[in-house]
Structure 1
């Protein structure tokens, strides 16, 4: 039976304090990524870790999602890992490096190792009545099993997109994505749609989910990963899963959307859940795939981007 991720983390934390360096218990793969665990070589490491990496990438030379356990102070970091010993041939996107804290900055001091990696989530690790608990350091809220799996799924999905092959549909010479009104990063598209919801076609048909003044629709958490945007149909009250894809989309998008729709159907008891794909350009493969799923709609976005010279 496949282990759940909280069980894996519980075992990892316990073993980190035991001196046992064996790693055969841990899965070799998770979320289509290779998994490597280290408690040290020969002697216990000060900072044990769990690294996840794409095929062809090395933990010692590259970037990857990583858990770093600063066991002396009981803090577990889920981070945007950066290799220490060799210069990584690829770096995390600028939006990460400009917004996320390095681990050195997070602790406000130079840590023994991995200080140049970036923090995605940080948890206080406590043992209460023999049970290991995880608590977010920024809010002091308990991290549930679903939270832990969702956090990992979020950073893994982001990481995998970095290594996805670029579209084979090249733009014509002299034509840029900006000139076509295409967003460079999916996050930009997501934020734009949320901020302009009432002025979009989607806003006419669907409502954002807001509870106690908090927006829940954006990056809605599930234990199989975050839904880009989850909304409700104004007329029926059924859930609508919105999946965003930059530039050229494909039938792979259908599979991802269908998984989230299945999750909503089971966990929200909604048999009429719908799906929406938002993309910059249309794809014939997508058209054939959606023939079998009539409850999925496709929207193509277009943004008018202009620069006007300032004149007094």
Structure 2
């Protein structure tokens, strides 16, 4: 109760900031800065209540300014002014570099410049209580909503006018274009999604207006559905068609779209026919602007009024139907899975960067096979084991198997027919075959096979059947009979709810992976930063994985559903494709180019990451993809790779930035200006590979 009171108090403070006005408009600077701080806390870039005026903060501030500020002709995006003036709020304090030195803010022309403020202040400091609240993803969303709705996006621009967007949408349906850029992202505090089809044109293009936790794949939402063939535009109470929603519209005797179409004499099967009609428009006639805006505002206001946290809904005013009970919703939205998992990792005394956690979970959702490599003792096995324990309700849903150096065939994983006894099958003692069989029967829950030190033997020998079946979706044959032998069927397929994680160490006792293996996985490298080791040393404690058991089981079925459903390619796909093509051209020079499978999996990864971390920008997502899918295959001699690596370094930098600092060993990546760097994670890895190349005349992604 006390934390709820504190949350309410801080939300009140955020909604009543001391702000100036120009030309009758509220200055947005403080709100944009606070929004940027919240975003960086969510990404793990701010890990204490100290807010330094870093390049990342400045970059996030500019990004949010472009995204949310409407009156750009009136206000200038100076981060320095709000950084100073927020000290007038009770929760924000400036810490000068010297307690004995009077901070010089008298020179008004320079006092708000970033360099001047960095010279004067160590950092700003927010109250610890506020910082603790902001560690929770749900709280962050509440603060974001207050800032955006109070200071940044006016009611008039976000909820009163949508007519022009709809006309643009209808005009585009007359073309072959699948482009979704140029449409608004927010309307009436709801996320806006638009689609004209994936790969090919759909005959029912749509708009969706989504609350947090609701998706077009699983949820309820208002939306426009345009039945082009019939010239009918339906403003609908939409219901997800891919997966059953955890909540339902509280409507009595609603009219489904299928029933409506039948009443119009349309008898064919109707896409999205299970959704309900709010209003239908004849597009062959001119649409009335006021009617369109009024209708959309009405249904979205109603949607916003629904309380998804009660069972049943009792405090809403349905339009026009009375209330009926709904299915109780999941207690936590799936978008918070990484922050919830990170919270429990801290309880277990495990230290992982939240960005790494996002990459790890996103990679599993992209394809159910990932490889964890990197420094020995950096937590590869512990992360895999912890996630399986946290997400699974029962211990029988996961196996942690140490790979043996003597594994020369598939028998340690799949067993073998007993040659001495007819119709008998010898299962492996490690339960792997039992795990696969059980996963095939229990399709709604996730199952995990963790292969520890996967490269202690040749992976291609003992894992060949798995590698082949991952792509062909075919069968793995176990014995020749048509019936079961000791409960073992003649063949199996890899269940879609089975996730395989391999951990890798590099030393003289292990084997390198072939391109065949790397091509089929996301490879995530573990490094330990100075900040992470400092945080670990400052918080000593005994590891306690028991606290993780089943804590995230509520996410299990949704995790499986998202891992197996197609994605909607809407998030800056053109920018992503341009970057991929540029890297393809350079990698081809060294023979490390990628094929259609890798390109497809990268595109899927780039659409999955925003589901978990909506604040992650496109450049960061491309950075993840380069590091995990493209660089692992790069290896070779100095003659072959030196010019390629130099060009890759250049591609990771902003246009016009010299590569000399990165190829001469003059500076570490983390000490240089992030404004010069486009893909920092990939750049840091490529520079390490380049240095190894210079020193040893050979380099590869894998490092001891």
Task: Quickly name the TM-score band, shorter chain normalised.
Answer: 0.3 to 0.5
TM-score (norm 1): 0.47
Whichever structure has more strand as a proportion of its residues is 1
Max Rg structure: 2
